[in-house]
Structure 1
Amino acid sequence: MKQDNGYNPLTPEEEYVIVHKGTERPFTGEYVKNTREGVYVCKRCEAPLYRSSDQFDAHCGWPSFDDEIEGAVKRIPDADGLRTEIVCAKCGAHLGHVFLGEGFTPKNTRHCVNSISMKFIPSVNKTLKKAYMACGCFWGAEYYFMKAAGVKHTAVGFMGGHVEHPTYEQVCRKNTGHLETTEIEYDSTRISYEDLVKLFFEIHDFTQADGQGPDIGPQYLSCLFYANPEEKAIAEKYIGILESKGYRVATMLKPVSTFWKAENYHQQYYEHKGDRPYCHRYRKIFD
């Protein structure tokens, strides 16, 4: 719900950057390595700011753009004269800083923007679909899903519980009913839901009934959330195949419900950390 001034309400973390001109830690923002097509808008007023086609990887730890949507961004020289701040031209929200002459692209411009200052609106694409899968600690699960060919984007969060807008701390108390879940956005012309189900079973111990590896608790249980009868039938098919191989499958099947995205520091955790999961590993099961 928007405030009386027409702006979206901000979390304390968003207010720190957008209002008080803070900076999020490098390589922690949601959009550092976003490769989806779409438009970035201001988190506070939703004015369009940048097109994904102008984004590039400057290896600096923050989303970088070599151009803005015309008239969307205002430049303000810092008081010390060393840098130039960029703000939303409509509401004045702090975005980051702009740098010239670095030679990254032919436009010789780099808008260094805090992810938390923006919201991404993906382009409509009928071949893009989403799947929701829970198989233990979402850090490790996402590590494998995001590397699959045809997967365009992943996010981690919570599904299946009874508390709205749960925090990681609340879920860890083991009484919200949520499971740590990965949201997988994939190009259905390159990878199928069936392929994702097979990968799901191949990256975790689906026979464990009390958690996953050393992570014990209800939030770590194995579950496939199905969006329609077709997805449910595919999940049941592979559970049947596994049972015919002698496995005792502990994976639950539940209908998709609200996906609550986890805090930013959980997103693409191992990608930012430069490490590998301790609780997940890949092993081929299906031909």
Structure 2
Amino acid sequence: MNKDTATAIFANGCFWCTEAVFQRLNGVLSVLSGYTGGTIKNPAYREICTGRTGHAEAIKIEFDQNKISYNELLEVFFATHDPTTLNRQGNDVGTQYRSEIFYTTEEQRVQAEAFIALLTEKSIFESPIVTAVSPEKPFYPAEEEHWNYYNDNRNQPYCRVIIDPKIKKIQHYFSDKLKTEKA
């Protein structure tokens, strides 16, 4: 990783959804679905689903800071999930679906806390933001069948009903931040 590349780690619900959103942003070099914030090493999906490991479904984003800033990633993060519901995103319920930012630098912590303060001050959400801001913890990649899930399974009902609206939302509100489609 060079000095222009940085890492962001976000937990904001199902990683199938979040991976699909962030993959489309210009300046995002890679998005890896996985688990972080828990108590056991190398957890498996079936263990995460129980909610007993303390891990969250999360994504690890490598990004080019010359093309997209951490604040811009935060903007998309807060616009594409509900940061006011504790341990829940839509029909997905459990601590594994919590809203949490795992900062990799002190500067990211400051930016994340300032962003939450701004959203709160401007009353952007009707309910209080419950997103936790925590130091980076070990990140374990999810099983390979979870990688690139939306792109490989667009016709699955979950993708069409849950993920498609998120993609349409970023296409509408963040069109200036999207990668250009190759013909």
- After TM superposition, the score normalised by the length of structure 2 is 0.83
Give me the whole-angstrom Cα distance separating, in 2, the residues matched to 1:160 and 1:209: 15
In structure 2, the partner of 1:186 is 63
In structure 1, the partner of 2:180 is none
Give me the whole-angstrom Cα distance separating, in 2, the residues matched to 1:187 and 1:156: 19
1:264 equivalent in alignment to 2:134: no
User: Offset of 1:130 from its aligned partner?
Assistant: 1.0
In structure 2, the partner of 1:69 is none
User: Offset of 1:245 from its aligned partner?
Assistant: 2.4
Out of 150, 154, 157, the residue aligned to residue 274 of structure 1 is: 154
User: Offset of 1:128 from its aligned partner?
Assistant: 1.6
In structure 2, the partner of 1:154 is 31
Give me the whole-angstrom Cα distance separating, in 2, the residues matched to 1:172 and 1:219: 7
User: Offset of 1:216 from its aligned partner?
Assistant: 0.4
**SS in structure 1 at match of 2:43:** coil
Question: What amino acid is the match of 1:272?
Answer: D
Q: Which consecutive segments of 4 or more residues in structure 1 shift more than 2 A?
A: 274-277, 279-285
In structure 1, the partner of 2:121 is 244
Give me the whole-angstrom Cα distance separating, in 2, the residues matched to 1:273 and 1:134: 22
Q: Deviations over 1:203-240 (max 9, x none)?
A: 10111113111100000000011112210111011111
CA RMSD of aligned residues (A): 1.7
In structure 1, the partner of 2:135 is 255
| Alignment gaps of 5+ in structure 1 | 1-123
Question: What amino acid is the match of 1:257?
Answer: K
**SS in structure 1 at match of 2:72:** helix
Q: Which has the higher strand share?
A: 1
Give me the whole-angstrom Cα distance separating, in 2, the residues matched to 1:213 and 1:158: 19
Matches within 5 A, 1:15-30: none
| Alignment gaps of 5+ in structure 2 | 175-183
Is the Cα contact below 8 Å between 2:30 and 2:63 reproduced in 1? Answer: yes
Is the Cα contact below 8 Å between 2:7 and 2:104 reproduced in 1? Answer: no
Give me the whole-angstrom Cα distance separating, in 1, the residues matched to 2:29 and 2:106: 24
Give me the whole-angstrom Cα distance separating, in 2, the residues matched to 1:131 and 1:167: 22
Question: Which is further off, 252-261 or 268-277?
Answer: 268-277
1:215 equivalent in alignment to 2:92: yes
- After TM superposition, the score normalised by the length of structure 1 is 0.54
User: Offset of 1:179 from its aligned partner?
Assistant: 0.4
Question: What amino acid is the match of 2:65?
Answer: S
Matches within 5 A, 1:1-287: 124-246=1-123, 247=125, 248-275=128-155, 276=159, 278=162, 281=166, 282=169, 284=173
Relative contact order (alpha carbons < 8 A, sep ≥ 6): 1 or 2 greater?
Answer: 2
Q: Deviations over 1:247-287 (max 9, x none)?
A: 310101110011000000000100111254606723759xx
Calculate percent identity across the aligned residue pairs. Answer: 35
Question: What amino acid is the match of 2:33?
Answer: V
User: Offset of 1:178 from its aligned partner?
Assistant: 0.2
In structure 2, the partner of 1:27 is none
Give me the whole-angstrom Cα distance separating, in 2, the residues matched to 1:141 and 1:197: 12
Question: What amino acid is the match of 1:145?
Answer: F
In structure 1, the partner of 2:177 is none
